[in-house]
Amino acid sequence: LGTITEKNAGSAARYENEIARMELKLNSMVAQQDRAKTAVERQIAGIDGLTAKMKSNDAATESYIRNLKSQGDEESAVNAKRKATTEQLKNQEEMYQRQETLLKQVARESGYTSEAYQKQRIALQDAGSAINETKQKLEKLNKEQEEAVKTTQTRKLSKLKVVELAS
């Protein structure tokens, strides 16, 4: 009976040591997770701020373009839209860089197989798609601007001919 108690006491001591080591590891992992969460939150705040800026710019630009069109100034409207789209592309490229930085950070902190990594990878791919779509939109706007300039020049020439004929 005495040897069983000594064996149990030895086992209990080993288990206590093992539990203490595991608690230290767990505390370390929790602290690491907290640091990662804080870093991600800081990064997301930058991304969210840029997203809000982009939405605000888009709304203001659309209002300005509607105003120009209502005044019949199609050339200026197309030019304003082209400039706004160029700015949008710049912001999207900045967003892509921030998303890419965040993806690397999430990979370091959570691992490549984590759900957070997969979600961030999708966000990065979406940002890349948005850039490509904006580039295509910009090409189309450049063509529209060329046409608007031609149309304006044609109108001015027509007005000049009418003035010359009237003279």
Q: What integer is the mean pLDDT of 75-102?
A: 93
Q: Give just the sign of the alpha carbon dihedral 44, 98, 93, 117.
A: negative
73: tokens are 């100034």
The pLDDT of residue 84 is 95
122: tokens are 């999708």
Q: Which tens digit of pLDDT belongs to each residue from 17-41?
A: 999 999 999 999 988 887 787 677 7
Q: What integer is the mean pLDDT of 70-79?
A: 90
Q: What integer is the mean pLDDT of 68-84?
A: 91
Mean predicted lDDT score pLDDT of the chain:
87
Helices (H), 71-114: 74-110
Confidence tier at 46 by pLDDT (50, 70, 90): confident
How crowded is residue 158: how many other Cβ atoms within 10 Å of its Cβ?
10
Please check the confidence at residue 2 and state whether its pLDDT lies above 60: no
Please check the confidence at residue 80 and state whether its pLDDT lies above 50: yes
Does 129 or 142 have the greater pLDDT score? 129
How would you classify residue 114: left for phi > 0, otherwise alpha for psi between -120 and 50, otherwise beta?
A: beta
Please check the confidence at residue 132 and state whether its pLDDT lies above 90: yes
Please check the confidence at residue 165 and state whether its pLDDT lies above 80: no
Over its C-alpha atoms, the chain yields an Rg (Å, rounded) of 31
